[in-house]
Amino acid sequence: MTRQKLTALAVIAAVVLGAGIWLGAYRDSQQSAAGDGALFGDLKAKLGDVTEIRLSRGDGSKVTLRRGDSGWTVVERNFPADAQRVRELALNLASLEIVERKTSDPANYAKLGVEAPDTPTATSTLVEVVAGEKTWALIVGKSAQGQAVYIRGPKDAASALAQPALTVDPDQKRWIDRQLTDLAGADVHDISVTPTKGAAYTLTRANRGDNDLTLSPVPKGRSPASAFSLNGQAQALVAFNFDDVHPLPSPAPTAVDRAIFRTFDGQVIELNGRRAENKSFVTVSVRRDPALAAQFPPEKVAETKPAEPKASEPKASDSKAATTKPEAQTPETPKPSTTTVERLSARASGMEFEIPGYKYDAIFMSQEDLLEPATK
């Protein structure tokens, strides 16, 4: 290679390197001008004072998340919100940092999804966070590879790419706490089902710790299905999440399937179900039955005595430790089944829940499904 070619390559390399250094410095200066990248520098210190978060779009969809004495609520549904999801959104908004400045040309806003959310065709979402007398507002646009998001202040011309990514869908169902129950199958003492069509029946587990449920009545000439099939119905209220919730229609439906689950600790959960327009709905009422709970007191766990110290080891009474007070024990958190009634009592009254079809089938199984096939 000639000296002339080597010189030319060196010049090109120097130009490329210089351009890269300039571009990096330019981007750094742009981010610095944005306030060290922080978008809402004062929100993080005010997170404990946030009382409302509003999400809205130009097509009219909106959700209002409001914090009260009992926690977060989806205002439009008058139902508890998923507190973890709300907390995640608030933290991400407070942590939002500008990565790179983007267009200031309104003609290009729609490409990033940061156009004003005031028309039905706008894809942007207006986010408003309220704490005390202050409101932080932001237009949130399209996601960038799931790691960042395009944003713009409602009164700003310049848009930006910011991190972390935000989930700001104003679909109210996304923000509802959709867990209805999480009742362990082993806690179920009996299940009574009265369908609108077909025979009524009861499944019973006689004692705590028994593995299997017993079907009653069993039609003459028929046999119960396998224990696996019978026991499966007791699992119907495990991780039971609904799809949507609305106020109970008036007048309330009268032709309903009915299932009553009773637990060994005296919880009674009654579900009334109906199907309409290819959808499945249930209402839930709850109470406690002290007499039932008294029949099955919880088993006491035998206390394990500490091992006697060896002869060479000093006894606790011989040390200063004997004069110290024992540490206060943290109360054991009750299992979900012990608080199901109280949780449902606070949120299920006057409401009708849309649930998955397969879950409806699991709750309101027909007696025929619990029998071995009839022999011809």
| DSSP conformation letters of 109-133 | HHHHT-S-S-STT---EEEEEEETT
At 54-67, the pLDDT tens digits run 999 999 999 999 99
Instruction: State the pLDDT at residue 1.
Output: 54
| CA-closest candidate to residue 175, choices 87, 241, 82, 247 | 82
Instruction: State the pLDDT at residue 329.
Output: 47
Domain boundaries of the chain, sorted by first residue: 44-175, 179-299+334-370
Whether the Cβ atoms of residue 370 and residue 229 lie closer than 8 Å to each other:
yes
Parallel, antiparallel, or unpaired: how do β-strands 79-80 and 71-74 relate?
A: antiparallel
- The CA–CA distances, whole Å, from 113 to 95, 137, 174, 234, 296 equal 21, 16, 21, 48, 60
| CA-closest candidate to residue 212, choices 189, 195, 192, 196 | 189
The two structure tokens encoding residue 326 = 């024992």
The answer as to CATH 1.10.443 being correct for domain 44-175 is: no
Instruction: State the pLDDT at residue 254.
Output: 83
286 pLDDT more than 70: yes
| CA-closest candidate to residue 345, choices 285, 263, 271 | 285
At 230-255, the pLDDT tens digits run 999 999 999 999 999 999 988 888 88
The two structure tokens encoding residue 28 = 């750094």
Rounded-to-integer distance, Cα 79 and Cα 70, Å: 11
What does pTM read for this prediction?
Answer: 0.76
At 147-158, the pLDDT tens digits run 999 999 999 999
